[in-house]
């Protein structure tokens, strides 16, 4: 250990050295053994001397303890974060990134439980509004009545306001969390299984054209589970069953209530249909690709997202080029998304396609397409 005189002098020397380094001047210093040295004599320090300095100086000892604690914390997992000073912001104080819809969910706020009479009144009001709708939606099912009751009881006004704001105030919400909605509807699917094709189509229209957004999410789930049963019971539809089914889905892709949160999952349903009936439906997708509706075009670009090795690369590239001139954000984003997904399997082909057509593709589309390209 250092001699008592050196130990007492060490803090003062350290202070002088720090001041000298900030000012850029040279000073004469004293080493561990009490020998004087200049900054130019650092090269003559032996490794043993450096190790002794590291072991003997109080500052080095403290540093070693800090490193040991850091290593111990890393091995034992995260600990409770310390309180940060008001003068020094921590990383957690930084402005949060844009939150997803799921991240805005709050703990459910208790709401007044509606009586049977109030529920029935609300239900009758919904039916009256649907019948007055331009699509003239008549008929009903017990499933829809039950669904309305479930959603009304699960209403969360705090979440409803926040989520409506997140979606640009285009749609009202009940405010249910995604897991909560899935759990509440679990027992309902056994009743949906018993519905005829006509009743399924009625339920689809009732849920889609109801105001709250959770009803549209239920419609999307309906299509995912029962798309092949939409016209299964109609004898007259069997000759053109695939085309008629796709046309039925299309009205929910291109209508006024469509937005990315419903269009994107519906594109997966469209993809299943096209994969099962390629001869009948690929010509329809060619028409969708040049549609005047941005959502229809978007679906034509991303319906192959889950095809993997079965992706029709030529068709994908052709569809992207046909709409590369479009300035619509959701179309440009879809081009990049589709190419990025295909990049996982064919990086060389996608890279060459983007390079060859860099004067046609938008900067957004190219950025998204090559997002995971290490060679860019």
For 271-287, how does the pLDDT look when each residue is reduced to its tens digit (9 = 90+)?
999 999 999 999 999 99
* Contacts (Cβ under 8 Å, ≥6 apart) of 350: 339, 340, 342, 343, 369, 370
Structure tokens at 110: 């208790």
Q: Is residue 129 part of a domain?
A: no
- Our measurement of the distance from residue 27's CA atom to the centroid of its chain's CA atoms, rounded to an integer in Å, reads 58
How many structural domains does the chain have?
1
- Our measurement of the distance from residue 46's CA atom to the centroid of its chain's CA atoms, rounded to an integer in Å, reads 56
Distance in angstroms (rounded) separating the CA atoms of residues 145 and 125: 12
Task: Encode pLDDT of 233-259 as tens digits.
Answer: 876 656 689 999 999 999 999 988 999
- pLDDT, position 217: 98
pLDDT at 84 > cutoff 50: no
Grade residue 72 by pLDDT with cuts at 50, 70 and 90: very low
Task: Quickly count: other Cβ atoms within 10 Å of residue 318's Cβ.
Answer: 12
* CB-CB contact of 223 with 249 (8 Å): yes
Structure tokens at 311: 């992706």
Helices (H), the chain: 4-23, 47-56, 58-76, 116-131, 142-153, 157-166, 178-185, 189-192, 197-208, 213-226, 241-254, 260-276, 278-289, 294-302, 313-322, 329-343, 347-356, 363-369
* Contacts (Cβ under 8 Å, ≥6 apart) of 191: 142, 143, 146
Structure tokens at 55: 């072991």
Higher pLDDT pick, 112 / 177:
177
Q: Is residue 212 part of a domain?
A: no
Task: Encode pLDDT of 302-333 as tens digits.
Answer: 999 999 999 999 999 999 999 999 999 999 99
Q: Is residue 20 part of a domain?
A: yes
280: nearest Cα among 237, 328, 230: 237
Structure tokens at 3: 């001699």
- What domain range is 31 assigned to? 1-64
Q: Is residue 358 part of a domain?
A: no
Q: Is residue 6 part of a domain?
A: yes
Which range (115-124, 290-299, 314-323) has the least confidence? 115-124
Grade residue 115 by pLDDT with cuts at 50, 70 and 90: confident
Region 296-300: what's the mean pLDDT?
A: 98
Q: Is residue 333 part of a domain?
A: no
Q: What angle do CA 137, 138, 140 make, to 5 degrees?
A: 110
Structure tokens at 220: 């999307």
* CB-CB contact of 275 with 303 (8 Å): no
Q: What is the residue-averaged pLDDT of the chain?
A: 80
- Our measurement of the distance from residue 280's CA atom to the centroid of its chain's CA atoms, rounded to an integer in Å, reads 33
- pLDDT, position 63: 45
- pLDDT, position 55: 47
Distance in angstroms (rounded) separating the CA atoms of residues 322 and 368: 18
Q: Calculate the dihedral angle through the C-alpha atoms of 361, 364, 365, 367, rounding to the nearest 10 degrees.
A: 110
H or E stretch including 105?
none
77 — alpha (psi -120 to 50), left (phi > 0) or beta?
left
Higher pLDDT pick, 57 / 219:
219
Q: Is residue 10 part of a domain?
A: yes
Q: Is residue 9 part of a domain?
A: yes
- pLDDT, position 116: 86
Distance in angstroms (rounded) separating the CA atoms of residues 137 and 215: 15
Task: Encode pLDDT of 339-367 as tens digits.
Answer: 999 999 999 999 999 999 999 999 999 99
Distance in angstroms (rounded) separating the CA atoms of residues 194 and 121: 27
pLDDT at 165 > cutoff 90: yes
């Amino acid at each position: 250990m250092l001699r008592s005189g050196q130990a007492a002098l060490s803090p003062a020397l350290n202070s002088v050295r720090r001041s000298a380094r900030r000012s850029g001047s040279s000073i004469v210093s004293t080493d561990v053994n009490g020998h004087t040295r200049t900054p130019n004599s650092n090269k003559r320090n032996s490794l043993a001397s450096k190790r002794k300095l590291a072991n003997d100086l109080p500052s080095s000892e403290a540093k070693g303890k800090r490193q040991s604690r850091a290593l111990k914390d890393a091995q034992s997992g995260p600990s409770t974060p310390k309180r940060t000073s008001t003068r020094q912001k921590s990383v957690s104080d930084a402005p949060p990134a844009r939150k997803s819809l799921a991240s805005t969910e709050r703990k459910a706020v208790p709401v007044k439980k509606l009586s049977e009479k109030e529920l029935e009144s609300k239900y009758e009001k919904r039916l009256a509004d649907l019948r007055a709708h331009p699509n003239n939606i008549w008929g009903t099912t017990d499933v829809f009545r039950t669904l309305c009751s479930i959603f009304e009881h699960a209403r969360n006004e705090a979440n409803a306001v926040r989520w409506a704001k997140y979606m640009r105030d285009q749609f009202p919400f009940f405010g249910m969390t995604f897991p909560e909605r899935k759990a509440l509807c679990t027992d309902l699917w056994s009743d949906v299984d018993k519905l005829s094709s006509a009743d399924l189509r009625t339920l689809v229209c009732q849920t889609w054209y109801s105001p709250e957004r959770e009803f549209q999410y239920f419609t999307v789930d309906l299509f995912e589970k029962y798309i092949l049963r939409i016209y299964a019971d109609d004898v007259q539809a069997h000759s053109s069953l695939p085309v008629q089914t796709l046309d039925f889905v299309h009205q929910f892709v291109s209508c006024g209530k469509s937005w990315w949160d419903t269009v994107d999952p519906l594109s997966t349903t469209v993809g299943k249909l096209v994969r099962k009936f390629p001869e009948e439906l690929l010509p329809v997708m060619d028409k969708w690709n040049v549609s005047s509706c941005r959502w229809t075009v978007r679906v034509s670009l991303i319906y192959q997202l889950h095809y993997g090795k079965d992706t029709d690369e030529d068709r994908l590239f052709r569809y992207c080029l046909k709409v590369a001139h479009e300035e619509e954000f959701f179309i440009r984003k879809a081009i990049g998304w589709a190419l990025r997904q295909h990049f996982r399997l064919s990086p060389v082909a996608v890279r060459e396609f983007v390079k060859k057509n860099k004067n046609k593709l938008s900067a957004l589309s190219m950025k998204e397409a090559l997002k995971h390209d290490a060679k860019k």
